[in-house]
Amino acid sequence: MNLPPDKMKLLSQYDNEKKWELICDQERFQVKNPPSAYIQKLKSYLDTGAFSGKFKRRAQESTQILRELEISLRTNYIGWVQEFLNEENKGLDVLVDYLAFAQCSVTRKALRNSRIVSQKDDVHVCIMCLRAIMNYQVTAGDGTLVMNHPACVNEITLSLNNKNPRTKALVLELLAAVCLVRGGHDIILAAFDNFKEVCGEKNRFEKLMEYFRNEDCNIDFMVACMQFINIVVHSVENMNFRVFLQYEFTQLGLDDYLEKLRYSESDKLQVQIQAYLDNIFDVGALLEDTETKNAVLEHVEDLQEEVGQLAEKLQDAENESMAKVAELEKQLCQSRREVEALRARTTGNEQVWALKLIKMCFFSFPDFPSPSTSPVPPPAPEIPPAPPLPFTKDSSSLVPSSSQEEAPPLPPPAPPLPGTSVPPPAPPLPVSGTTAPPPPPPPPLLLCCSLKAVKIKKPIQTKFRMPIFNWVALKPNQINGTVFNELNDEKVLQELDMNDFEEQFKTRAQGQARELPALKAKASQKKAPSKVMLIECNRAKNLAITLRKAGLSIDGICKAIQVYDLQSLSLDFLELLMRFIPTEYELTVIRKYEKEQRPLDELSDEDQFMIKFSKIPRLAERMNIMTFLGNFGDTVQLLLPQLNSIIAASMSLKASTKLRQILEIVLAFGNYLNSSKRGAAYGFRLQSLDALLDMKSTDRKQTLLHYIVRVIQEKYSDLTNFANDLHFLEKAAAVSLDSVLQDVRGLQKGMELTRKEFMRQDDSAVLKDFLKANTEVMEKLQADGKTAQEAYESTVEYFGENPKTTPPTMFFPTFVRFVKAYKKAEEDIQLWKKQEAAAKSPTHKAKRQQMDLISELKKKQLVKEPLIYEEKDGAIEDIITALKTVPFTARTGKRSSRLFCDASFNEESPL
């Protein structure tokens, strides 16, 4: 056997029976005969002149020769097969000719002898030889040798007339596989057309259906037949052709016969029947679905229209709500200013009342010595000091009460208003009777606050080395008047257990456009026409197009402009006409033309219009006023919601106590991380809120924001709905306040221009009615613009930012992103909790196995696409094996030269 030493050692360990079996196998697979030997023997059987009394013996020999040839074609090396099929031997032609002879397709003279051959297995084995050849990538011309042979597939198809059900099943399996390769479906249909002519069928596939009905005792044949019908009908790309083939079998009674087979006990047959029914193309159902779809589309259009109407109503309601909120916020600001003014007056009144009370004490006690004349009394025994009395900074001296009598107690001062601080008590009056210089007046309250020393924060020493939180910290002198002046992050750290935070966020062990130059716009210089004409040619064409849109005569247009008639002239037309206000050059040409007293009839309509147009007094001002009048209402409706959104968003941010507490918690965690390395921070820039998502825990599973959200849920649950306090942030984030205020100023200039024009032309009813109706609207718009600017600047400064360098499009989106990230973190935490609970449940393991199975099936569907038949040896064999494993499923997508087998067996087969 010529085995290597290691294989010899392994063979010696087998028993004698196993050794003998291996030797027999070795002899069976050795190349015994060259291809020419088999070809010569088959040709001798085909030689009709050679038939004699020895025919029966030769028929038996032919079956054995075909079996050996089939084994050689399957097992020998590719060179042997190529030699068998080359031009010299033409083994394929010999096999096809022998198959034609063996299945009674010869002349009537040889009919008796061919019946003897057909009783043997020659047809079956011959088809298996052709099947073995089809598995090799042996080409001829532009395709495979077998597929291009003029009679090979036809003869295989004619083998369905063989009486052996096993042979017919083999033929159908092979034909089904050929259907699934490029160009194979057309070849199979042509073969059945040939079958129809040879066998005298009235309809194609008639004999096939007859065998299908009659061979009900052979399940393997019925399975192969049902599989072939499914593939030949549903493996075509054209849907109309598929319906045609489907109807062809329906006419032959397939549907009725399948109804009878519903109760078959064969699972394999039921699988193939169900695969056909699943692939069936029901035109009636599709038509019904189309009608239903049209009705659904109409309903969708109605719903979309309804949604559009609801969206408009929602927008109107939202604008109305913004206006109400902005108005309430303005009233709140006015009330606060009034409270501050009242508080200032109350403080002054208290000081005056205290001075009057001191004077009353002097008059009530006549023996009380005058502070300017009384001598110095002798030292008196110590007595408790009198309660301190308030004083005024205008008094030159303070007079104490008598040492023997006690002054009646003063009434308590009025309680301070909410949000104010109580002033410190005045120093006690001196008890001696000597004249003493008055104490210095107390500093104002605001001065005290501004000079208040900022408490120095000590660095926090952590047990582990913590990562650096990349925020932008504020210095102590930058937090005066901001929200951070009201925060106490040290108190937050005292309330929290930071050991868990350190465990989760400690650091791991460490080995430790060129700016393009600005393009300069060059003003196009218009050259004066070489000949005298009123309007340049292109300008005249554009003016003619514009005048046609008005639908009025030249005189009608000019008259409407003089009386500000916006009913006759549309706003779009006026904006186009603004471009044709005469230039200085055109006015000069017009004057020159009129000075020459030349007739106007010689001019075109555009030139005549330009002459009359230029004679309207204050033409530019009138045109500007008319466009202003037409645009005023829409502009106001556009600007008011934007101003209201700025007011509402700004004031809601500043008034939210929950937001302040969340910023306090962020400040505490930031200082805990950074203070030992960078020193303690007293505040931070708002852009630092985005950095909460960048800081990852040690296991990289959560961010700092996730941890803060978890702390808030556990320790400060009342803060979780802080976003409800913030109104219209997204709308305010889209507003360019500078542009809006510029538009408001533009409207104010237009209003002033309109007012001046009305003073010159006070008989204009249009201007009078406009000013009467819109003066208050303009004043309100100006007030809202001022309020929006003040509210926004105050809020930006309150959060430690610079309003000059921080527009609303930069300020509000910071909070929008923070709110969205906060809600996303809440969802993540909720999901993690559910996953942890599910992992602990006993059914989790079974569900996990099911999910793994589904994932594996998806992977199998995503494996490489099956190759076409011509590209790989063994493709036909693999298709046949695969179809026995999984029934064929039709694809509605385009078939592009690929096998149509189900993707689930692609990974297991070498296709």
Both tokens assigned to 94: 């010999």
- Using CA atoms, how far apart are residues 746 and 628, in angstroms rounded to an integer? 10
Helices (H) and strands (E) in the chain, counts: 35, 2
- Using CA atoms, how far apart are residues 757 and 755, in angstroms rounded to an integer? 5
Give whole-number Cα distances, 847 to 163, 842, 852, 854, 856, in Å: 52, 10, 9, 11, 14
Question: Which pLDDT score, from 0 to 100, does residue 859 have?
Answer: 52
Q: Closest Cα to residue 455, out of 428, 490, 405, 413?
A: 490
Residue reference for tokens 């062809």: 248
Neighbours of 538 (CB within 10 A): 9
- Using CA atoms, how far apart are residues 326 and 320, in angstroms rounded to an integer? 10
Question: Which pLDDT score, from 0 to 100, does residue 442 have?
Answer: 46
Query: Can you list the alpha helix ranges (DSSP code H) found in 366-497?
Result: 445-451, 489-495
> Which residues are CB-neighbours of 234 under 8 A, at least 6 positions away?
242, 246, 276, 279, 281, 888, 890
Helical packing angle, 283-364 and 765-798, nearest 10°? 80
- Using CA atoms, how far apart are residues 526 and 504, in angstroms rounded to an integer? 73
DSSP result, 715-748? H-GGGTTGGGG--SHHHHHT--HHHHHHHHHHHH
The one-letter amino acid code at 838 reads A
Which DSSP state fits 347?
A: H
Where is 570: in which H helix or E strand? Answer: none
pTM of the model: 0.49
Both tokens assigned to 332: 């709140």
Collapse the DSSP code of 701 into the 3-class scheme (helix H, G, I; strand E, B; otherwise coil) and give the result: coil
Residue 426 Ramachandran class (φ > 0 left, ψ -120 to 50 alpha, else beta)? beta
How many Å is the maximal CA-CA distance in the chain?
A: 174
Mean pLDDT, consecutive 10-residue segments, the chain of 911 residues? 66 79 65 80 70 52 85 84 85 87 54 48 87 70 66 88 88 89 87 91 90 85 91 88 90 89 85 88 83 88 91 86 81 82 80 76 58 45 41 36 40 43 43 44 42 70 84 84 84 84 76 38 40 71 85 85 83 86 87 81 82 85 88 91 93 92 93 86 92 89 93 92 91 92 93 89 84 91 92 94 92 95 94 86 63 55 41 64 71 40 38 30
Query: Can you list the alpha helix ranges (DSSP code H) found in 180-205?
Result: 184-199
Burial class (CB in 10 A: 0-12, 13-18, 19+), 634: exposed
Backbone angles phi, psi at 902, to 5 degrees: -65, 145
Q: What share of the chain is helix, strand, coil (3-state, %, to 5)?
A: 65, 0, 35
Residue reference for tokens 């230039």: 583
Collapse the DSSP code of 183 into the 3-class scheme (helix H, G, I; strand E, B; otherwise coil) and give the result: coil
Neighbours of 337 (CB within 10 A): 10
Question: Which pLDDT score, from 0 to 100, does residue 4 have?
Answer: 66
Q: Are 82 and 24 in contact (CB under 8 A)?
A: no
